[in-house]
Structure 1
Amino acid sequence: MYATNYHRASSVQDAVKLKSGSDEGKYLSGGMTLIATMKQRLASPSDLVDLRHIPDLKGISVNGRSVRIGAATTHYDVATSAELKAVCPAICDLAHHIGDPHVRHMGTIGGSVANNDPAADYPAALLALDAVVVTNAREIKAGDFFTGLFDTALEEGEIIVAVTFDAPEKAAYAKFRNPASRYAMTGVFVAKQDNGDVRTAVTGAGADGVFRHEGMEAALAGNWSPDALAGVTVDPSDLLSDIHASSEYRANLVKVMAKRAVAAA
């Protein structure tokens, strides 16, 4: 690893100040991606500003159906929150199947969302739940936040403070995991709101990252059943093709995982 300066921020304002005073600083949350890329010498930030010890960025609050999850909340805390499970068990189940215990105790929801890995789980949940990403400067709808592979609407120095959403009537997530990394080779999060609105988001398969599938949404809005997806077409030309799976294989996985998610919901 290259030499770097480590800073432990005590507040969001402190973190912004520390990063703005560095040459090429980076915010550090769980470090599940950043530390690995530094070890491979693919990234060499001059300064690391640790966000994990900022009290305002931690915790889960549920007020009726309204949910707020602090950005520095770990996957483990999301997975084991009884309060969250009572209104949206789907996101608890999603968090429970991220990586392994070490990753779940270190990785954070804010770090995952900010990194926007094309195979990450949380982006699909936020997109399907019509969530809002709250930063220190503004609020961004999930549909506007995820802009491409490893790319988001975050501006220089902007910090994710929390994610918020209204718990749906029904929701579930199903993914086909890479056996080594446990990243989603294809994952589908489905959500149905009380008003009948249905949203379906796919991760791990899109050539441009997480995306919604309108054909599945229309089919499920008319008939909330796995059988409703039988006639839906998934275009492989818009999907990833790599050593793990071809685009045609992923197209099939999208339908299979969507059916499993609907059945689970």
Structure 2
Amino acid sequence: MYAFDYQRPASRDAAQALLSAGGKLLAGGQTLLPSMRLRLAAPEQLVDLAGVAELAGIHRAGEQLVIGAMTRHHQVAESETVRQAIPVLAQLAGGIGDRQVRARGTIGGSVANNDPAADYPAALLGLGAQVQTDRRQIAADDFFQGMFATALEEDELITAIHFSPVQRAAYVKFRQPASLFALIGVFVAQTAAGVRVAVTGGGNGVFRHSAMEQALSADFSPAAIAGIATDEELMSSDLHGSSAYRAHLVGVMAQRAVAQALG
């Protein structure tokens, strides 16, 4: 490690002031701290958001489920409010990493980092969620912009995530055994606005599978998407799996997710 300035503000205003002055936000540290140990990141000032109580918590606002950015994964997984409103979200959070990761990682940190194999981006895109920041709301469709890239400005702070009601939904992932990230994860949701299918782990970031969405809108069943192929060129290829293998997994995981959503 190397020398850096550590700040732990107690209010959102104080955190935003430090962020505007060039500080690097620490929302859980599950990616940032390992990157610093490997000298892949070298911020001069860390702004730890753990002391900002107003950024954490789970509540209902009318029909919407609102989860504060600093809410830990295990809190989402164990929340009765989440389980009653959107059960699949609690299930997804309970399958992130291991117990240590779930105890420290936050939904806001995961969303802001936008790792191409992370679970939460698939949930936001699959559920058509809204990302609330200190200055605006950003639809998930506009928020995720590719590998580790989002619509956030340099000094913009995520404060909460807003989820609308869902009729039925499921998330199924094929885990990479060492990291527990999704080698491929597919989130399928049927909402009042239509069917949404989000894929993570496959390539340059989370994306919607329009062909599967169209097929499921006409017939919400595993059979409806059994013959739909995924373009291999959209998939990444590494020592864990080829692009062809990942493309095949998308179809398998999607069919399992639909079957699970049907109960």
Could you state the TM-score of these two structures normalised by the residue count of structure 1?
0.96
SS in 2 for 1:62: strand
Counterpart in 2 of 1:16? 16
Letter in 1 for 2:189: A
Q: Secondary structure at 2:46's aligned position in 1?
A: strand
User: For residue 72 of structure 1, what is the aligned residue in structure 2?
Assistant: 70
* Counterpart contact for 1:169–1:192, Cα < 8 Å: yes
1:231 aligns with 2:220: no
Quote the Cα distance in structure 2 between the aligned partners of 1:50 and 1:10: 9
Mapped to 1, the partners of 2:183 and 2:163 lie a distance apart of: 26
Consecutive unaligned residues in structure 2, runs of 5 or more:
none
- Give the Cα separation in 1 of the matches to 2:19 and 2:187: 35
CA distance in structure 1 between the partners assigned to 2:180 and 2:147 by the alignment? 19
Task: Give SS of 1:49's match.
Answer: strand
How many angstroms apart in 2 are the aligned matches of 1:194 and 1:152?
26
| Aligned match of 2:30 | 32
Q: Would you say 1:140 and 2:144 are equivalent positions?
A: no
Output one character per residue of 1:220-241: Cα deviation in whole Å (capped at 9) or x when no partner: 1111111111121211111111
CA distance in 1, matches of 2:42, 2:239: 28
Matches of 2:155 and 2:62, distance apart in 1: 33
Structure 2 residue aligned with 1:178: 176
Give the aligned partner of residue 6 of structure 1. Answer: 6
- Aligned letter for 2:187? F
User: Counterparts of 1:83 and 1:139 in 2: how far apart (Å)?
Assistant: 22
Name which of 104, 107, 115 aligns with 2:105: 107
Deviation of 1:167 after TM superposition, in Å, equals: 2.1
Deviates more, 1:57-66 or 1:7-16: 57-66
Q: Which runs of 4+ in 1 moved over 6 A?
A: none
* Structure 1: stretches of 5+ with no match in the other structure: none
Contact kept? 1:116, 1:123, Cα under 8 Å: yes
Compared with structure 1, are the counterparts of its residues 224 and 64 closer, same or farther at alpha carbon in structure 2 (3 Å cutoff)? farther
Would you say the 8 A contact 2:229–2:248 is kept in 1? no
Alignment of 1:43-122 (within 5 A): 43-122=41-120
2-structure distance, mates of 1:42, 1:188: 30
| Identity of matched residues, % | 54
CA distance in 2, matches of 1:209, 1:81: 28
Aligned to 1:218, what secondary structure does the other structure show? Answer: helix
Aligned pair partner of 2:202 in 185, 188, 205:
205
Shift of 1:16: 1.6
Among 213, 220, 233, the alignment partner of 2:216 is 220
Once the two structures are TM-superposed, the CA of residue 64 in structure 1 deviates from its matched residue by: 5.0
> 1:63-93: CA deviations, max 9, x gaps?
4531100000000000011111112111111
What letter is aligned with 1:96?
G
Deviation at 1:181, TM superposition (A): 0.6
Q: Is the 8 A contact 2:117 2:182 kept in 1?
A: yes
Distance in 2 of aligned mates of 1:168 and 1:65? 10
- Using the size of structure 2 for normalisation, the TM-score is 0.97
Separation in structure 1 between the aligned mates of residue 239 and residue 63 of structure 2, nearest angstrom: 41
* SS of 1:148 mapped into structure 2: coil
- In the other structure, the counterpart of 1:253 is 249
What SS does structure 2 have at the residue aligned with 1:263? helix
Any residues of structure 2 matched to 1:152-171 within 5 Å, and which?
A: 152-171=150-169
